[in-house]
Copies of this chain bind each other. A is one copy, B any other.
Amino acid sequence: MISEKMVGLVKGSSVIRAMFEEGKQLAHKFGAENVYDFSLGNPNVAPPEAVEDAIVDIVRNEEPLSLHGYMNNAGYEDVRATIAKSLNERFDTGFDENNIIMTVGAASGMNVIFKTLLDPGDEVITFAPYFGEYRNYVLNYDGILVEISPNTVDFQPKLDEFEEKITLKTKCVIVNSPNNPTGVVYSEETIKRLSAILEKKQAEYGTSIYLISDEPYRELVYGDVEVPYITKYYRNTIVGYSYSKSLSLPGERIGYLVIPSEVDDYKDVFSAASVATRILGYVNAPSLMQKVVARCVNERTDISYYERNRTTLYEGLVKLGFTCQKPEGAFYLFMKTPTEDDKVFVAAAKKYNILVVPGSSFGCKGYVRIAYCVAYETIVNALPGFEKLAREMKLI
C-alpha cells in the first residue's frame, strides 16, 4: 500500500545505514570492542566544550519564548548575519543575512535547493564517486541524476566527460570537496577549469546552471591543504554547509545554505528556498541550535584525532599491500579492493568483524570506503584482521 516510488527506495535503502544497524547487532553478539565498524560517518571526537557552555548559557539567560519560538523561515536574522560575517572574514566574500538560509543539516539544504530549482526531467550532474543519497534527493523532485565516471588516478573530476554531458536540461551540478567517500580535495585548478566549462555552456545554451557545493567536510583538512571557496570562482554557486562534522553535532541537524546575491534570479531563488523550507515541513532550522552555532562560529572539533587515525590506517593498509587514496580531508579512506567485486571484499571483511561500505554505493565499483571517525584503538585492533584479509587475497 506504500507509494510505488518508496517500494524501490525501501528495498535499495541505504547500504550504509543497514551496516550501521548490522554493526550494532554484531557489537551486541561479540562485544563492541571486537567489532570494527567503519561504516558510518558518525564523528568520534566530542563537540568543543564551547558548545556545551553555549547551550547552558543561552538556555539560562535568553528569553525562552523567543529562544524556542518561530522566527523567519530562513532563520534568526542575527544568526544569519553572524555566519555571513564569519564567511566574509575567512574567504573575503561579501555576504550578509540575506544570503544565508539556516537548514536542518546539509541534507535538508540539498532538498530545499532541489525543490527550489528542479522541474521534472531536469538534469543534475555529479562526479563519481559521490554520496549515494544525492540520487534520492534529486529523485524527490523528479530530477535525473547524471553521473560522470570516476577518475581513479587521483579522483579529481573528469572534466572532459563533464563538458560532453552538459545539456540544455542541465540545471545543477553537485560538487563535494573534501569528498565523501575519497577524502580528496578538489584543487583550485579543478575548480577554475570546471567554472570555465560551466560559463561556456551557459553562454552556449543561454541557460543558468547552478553549481551546488556540498561542504560538510570543509573544516576537516590535513596539513596545509586549501579548500577553494567556490562562490569566488563561479557566479551561480550555491553552498550547502553543515555543523555535523565541524562541531560534531550530526544528530542536531543544523547547517545553512549560502545563496549569493550574484546568482541568476537571486530574489526568486532566495524566496523560493525560504518557502521550500517551510512546505517541506522543516519550517525552520532548530532554534536553540541556531543560536549555539552562532556563538561557536569560530570553534572547531579537534582534527588532530582524525589525523592520527588517518596516518595509522593509511600507513597500516599500504604496508599490507592495499592500494589506497591518501585522504587530504574528511574522515574517509577509499581503498581499492583486491577482488574485482567490492561486495565480495565487504563480505570477506565481515568474517573478521570489519564493516566497510562497498564503493558501488558511491558509483565506483572495485573500492571500499573506510570511515575512520572511530576510536584509535578500533584502527589498531582492526589491522590484524586487515592483515588476514591481505593474506587471504594474496597481497602478502
Contacts and interface: CB of A to CB of B under 8 A. Distances in A.
Interface in A364-390: none
A34 to B, nearest CB: 20
The 3 closest A-B pairs by CB, nearest first: A251-B287, A108-B281, A111-B281
Contacts of A7: 268, 272
A51 B289 CA distance: 15
A60 B56 contact: yes
> A-side binding surface: helix, strand, loop or mixed?
helix
A68 B251 contact: yes
Contacts of A287: 251-253
A202 to B, nearest CB: 11
Contact of A21 (B72, B116, B264, B265): B72
A282 interface: yes
A217 B44 CA distance: 39
Contact of A284 (B3, B253, B284): B253
Contact of A107 (B109, B141, B283): B283
A47 interface: yes
A32 interface: no
Contacts of A141: 3
A59 B69 contact: no
A3 B40 CA distance: 34
A1 B202 CA distance: 13
A264 B271 CA distance: 40
B265 A2 contact: yes
A105 B52 CA distance: 24
A391 interface: no
15 contacts: A3-B141, A6-B116, A6-B275, A10-B275, A21-B72, A42-B69, A55-B288, A67-B251, A68-B249, A68-B250, A68-B251, A107-B283, A133-B279, A252-B288, A281-B282
